[in-house]
Amino acid sequence: MANPNQDARSGHGQYIRTPETAQRDAQAAELRAQGWTLQAIAEHLGFHDRSGARLAIRRALTDIVKGPAEKLLAIHMERLETLYEAAMEVMEADHVVVSHGQIVKGEDGQPLKDSGPKLAAIREARSTLDAFWNLAGMKKPAKVEHSGGVKYEIVGVNPEDVA
């Protein structure tokens, strides 16, 4: 049996995933679960060889995990957005200094402003954004550069004795 998706290629000549290829991958995984050999699967479904059947099974297994994983990712993203919004609400609100249950007032009789909650909200917002970037894979790894050399010195040994 020839590959029914032989013409499913991108402009660069690479195979593209179609509903038909996804269904064939799922069939390969189902046959493997029934105990079929990779060679038998390849022959039955028209893969070039057993490695094509193996790759199809891997794609099918990835698809099985990907759906629930994407849902979980969306849930966590939504939770982070909610936390960020709550932190922003705290940051935008006015806060006053309270001591022993009483509002502390300045010499002018006005309540003293408390910047502590705003600073804490800024830290939480920044932490939430950091978690969002990590979860979304948007955070770039830190680059460390150095210049110059390293000098090793052995204490207690005369360098002339070593040479």
44-93 pLDDT, tens digit per residue, is 999 999 999 999 999 888 888 787 778 888 888 899 999 999 999 999 99
Q: Residue 98: its pLDDT value, please?
A: 95
Residue 161 lies in a domain: no
- Contact at 8 Å (CB) between 111 and 103? yes
Q: Is residue 148 part of a domain?
A: no
Tell me, yes or no, if the pTM score tops 0.85. no
Nearest to 24 by CA among 52, 37, 115: 52
Residues in the chain: 163
Residue 80 lies in a domain: yes
Is residue 6 assigned to a domain? Answer: no
Q: Is residue 79 part of a domain?
A: yes
Dist CA 58 CA 43 (whole Å): 17
Distance CA 25, CA 55 (A): 8
Domain extent for 114: 19-136
Would 14 be classed as within a structural domain?
Answer: no
pLDDT digits (tens, 9 = 90+) for 91-144: 999 999 999 999 999 999 999 999 999 999 999 999 999 998 888 777 777 777
1 within some domain: no
**In a domain? residue 33:** yes
Q: Using an 8 Å Cβ cutoff, are 87 and 121 in contact? A: yes
For the chain, what is the domain count?
1
